[in-house]
Amino acid sequence: MQETAEKSTEKNTPPGPTHEATMAQLRAAMERLGDLPIFSTTMNRVRKVSGDPASNAMEVAQAVMNDAHMSTKLLRLANSAYYNRGAGSVTAISRAVVLLGFETVNTLTLTLKLIETFQNQHPAIDMNRLLVRAFIAANFVRQVGFKAGVRDVEQAYVCALLYNLGEAAVAYCLPEAYLSIQALQTRDGLSPCQAAKQVLGTGFDAISQDIAAGWEFPATVVDSMGGVPPKVKGVLRSAAGLQHALACCANQAVSGLYAATGSSDNGSSIQELLETMATATGLTRDTIATALEDSFEMACNLSGEYGLNPRSLTPALHDGQDPAVARWARRLAFFVHARAPAAAPSTPSFQDTATPAGPGGDASLQLRYMQDITRLITSEARLNAVFVKVMEAMRDGAGCDRVVLCLVSPDRSRYAARLAVGEGTEPLKAALSRPINGHSDLFSQVLIKGGEYLFDPQRDGGWRQLLPPEFATLAPGQGFVLAALHFDKKPVGFFYADCDDRARAVSPEIYAAALQFVEQARLALRVCH
C-alpha cells in the first residue's frame, strides 16, 4: 500500500525545468521585449557586410547608419584619444570605417549594441555590472592577444565579450528566475552553474551557446562559451582552443575581482587564472597582469562613450579578502577613481530659442542631418543647438510639417512648448502648454511612460478624449507623432510632430525617419552638458 502511494506521489510530481523549456521561455520574453531580435538583426547585417572581402567602406558605413544611435556612438569612439591618434576630426561614418578598419568596426558595433540592448529591466538586478565585466574581460583578451601575436584578435575579443551572454539574457529576460539563482548562491553556497541548473534545468553556458548559434555567430565563438578553465600544460597552438582558454580565464578572473569571495565562479583563484593565460600564450605572468591593467585603463577612459556607468568599474573591496586579490582590487579601484570620467549633471539646461522653418526636404537630407547632429554631439554643443537641429531634421529630412519641443517645468508640475519649427505653430504651442495629468491628458501619459507613438485616428479612436479641447481644432485628422525624452529615469519633455497638410498623413516612413533623429536627441541628453 505504502509503496503504491509513493509511486502515485512520484507520478504526480511535476517534472523539473529543462533546457528546452527555459529556452522557450527566453525566446518568448525576447519577442515580448522586442530588443534582442533587433540586436541580432543589426549585428548580423554589420557582420555580414564587414566580413565580406568584396565590401567597401561605404557599404559598411551604410550598414552601421541603419542604426542612428549606434552611428553617433561609433563616431564618438572614432574621435576618442584611444582610437584617433592624430587623424583629425572624424565626422562621417565612412571615414570612421577607414580609420578603424572593418574588424574593429564589427567588434565596436557589437559591444555598443550589446550594452544598449541589455539595459536595466529590474531594480534588484545590476545589469550594468554584468556588462562591465564582459567589457573588461573582452578588452583584457584583446590586450593579451596583441601581445601574444594571436592571428584573429578581434574574434578572440568577441568570444570573451559574449562568454556570459546566457547569464545576461536570463537576468534581462527572466529577472525573477535570475534573482532565485542569486538567492541560492547566497543562502546555500551553490556555484552559479549549480544554482542555474536547479532553477532553469540548464547552465548559463548552454544558454549562451544556444542564443549565439541562433544569431549565426561562427562555431568557434559558440564553442568558446562556458565551461571551466582548461588544464593547460603548454602554449596552445589551436586557435579555437586558445580562444576558449582566454575567454574563459579572462571572464573568470574579472568575475573574481568583482565577487565578494575574491575567487572565480568555479573557485579558481585569480592568480591561477592569470597563470593559465600565461602558459597558454607563452607570455610572462607580468605581461598578463599588465594587460589586465591596460584593459581597466581603456574601460575607465571609454566607459562614457560606451554607455557604461563608471562607478560600476570599481572592484569589490572587503575585510577578509585574499591579500593578493585585495592588492589587485585596491590598485584597480584607485585607478578607476583617478581615471573615470566625471558624471553627467543631474539636470540638463535648455534655452528657449527657435529656428525659422525652411523648405521641405527629402530622404537625401537625412544622412546630412545625421552627420550635422553627430558633429554637434561629439563637440559637446549646447543641448539647445542639438534640439533645434533635430527639429529641422524632422521637418526637412523626415518630411514633417510642424515640430514642437515641450519641456517639463522646474517644479515638474507642467509641460510647456519651448521650441517650434514650421508654419502656424503659435496656436499649437499654446495648446501644448498644460499641467501634467497622467489620468486624462494624452501628452502627460506619453511624457510619464516614455517611448514614442504614432497616433492614427483611424486606428486609435479613443485618443481624442484625452486631448485638450482646443487641440482638437488644431491637430490634423491624419494623426501625429509623440516621442518622450527622459534623463536619469525622469521625464524631461517630448517632441510633437505632424503633417499639417490635410491631404497627407504621417506615413510609417515619415514616422521611422523622424524617430532616428529623436534617438540622436536622446543621446545628446546623456552626453552634452
Please report the pLDDT score of residue 148 as a whole number.
Answer: 92
d(CA 54, CA 102): 12
User: How far apart (Å, rounded) are the C-alpha atoms in residues 45 and 101?
Assistant: 17
Q: 3-state class of 25 per DSSP?
A: helix
Residue 181 φ/ψ, nearest 5 degrees:
-65, -45
- Residue 308 pLDDT grade (very low, low, confident, very high; cuts 50, 70, 90): confident
Across 61-76, average pLDDT? 80
Q: How far apart are CA 296 and CA 215, in angstroms?
A: 29
Give pTM, 2 decimals: 0.62
Residue with cell 593565460: 277
Domains of the chain, with CATH numbers?
34-117 (no CATH), 123-343 (1.10.3210.10), 364-527 (3.30.450.40)
pLDDT band, very low/low/confident/very high, at 292 (cuts 50, 70, 90): very high
Least confident of 230-244, 266-280, 362-376, 459-473: 459-473
Nearest-CA neighbor of 518 among 391, 361, 385, 375? Answer: 391
Q: What is the per-residue pLDDT for 350?
A: 35
State mean pLDDT over 214-233: 84
CA angle 128, 129, 130 (to 5 degrees): 90
The mean-pLDDT minimum among 49-53, 264-268, 420-424 falls in 264-268
Percent of the chain with pLDDT over 90: 30
- Helices 239-258 and 153-161 sit at what angle, rounded to 10 degrees? 40
- Which range, 203-212, 358-367, 461-470, 505-514, has the best average confidence (pLDDT)? 203-212
Whether pLDDT at 343 is above 70: no
Mean pLDDT of the chain: 81
Which backbone phi and psi does 83 adopt, to 5 degrees? -100, -25
pLDDT value of position 174: 92
The residues near 348 (Cβ < 8 Å, ≥ 6 apart) are: 383, 487, 492, 525, 528, 529
* 24-56 confidence digits (pLDDT tens): 999 998 888 776 766 777 777 888 888 887 877
3-state helix, strand, coil split of the chain in percent (to 5) is: 60, 10, 35
Return the pLDDT at 138: 94
At 215 the pLDDT is 85
Does the pLDDT at position 514 exceed 80?
A: yes
Overall average pLDDT of the 497-519 stretch: 81
Spacing of C-alpha 416 from chain mean position: 31
Residue 348 pLDDT class (50, 70, 90 cuts): very low
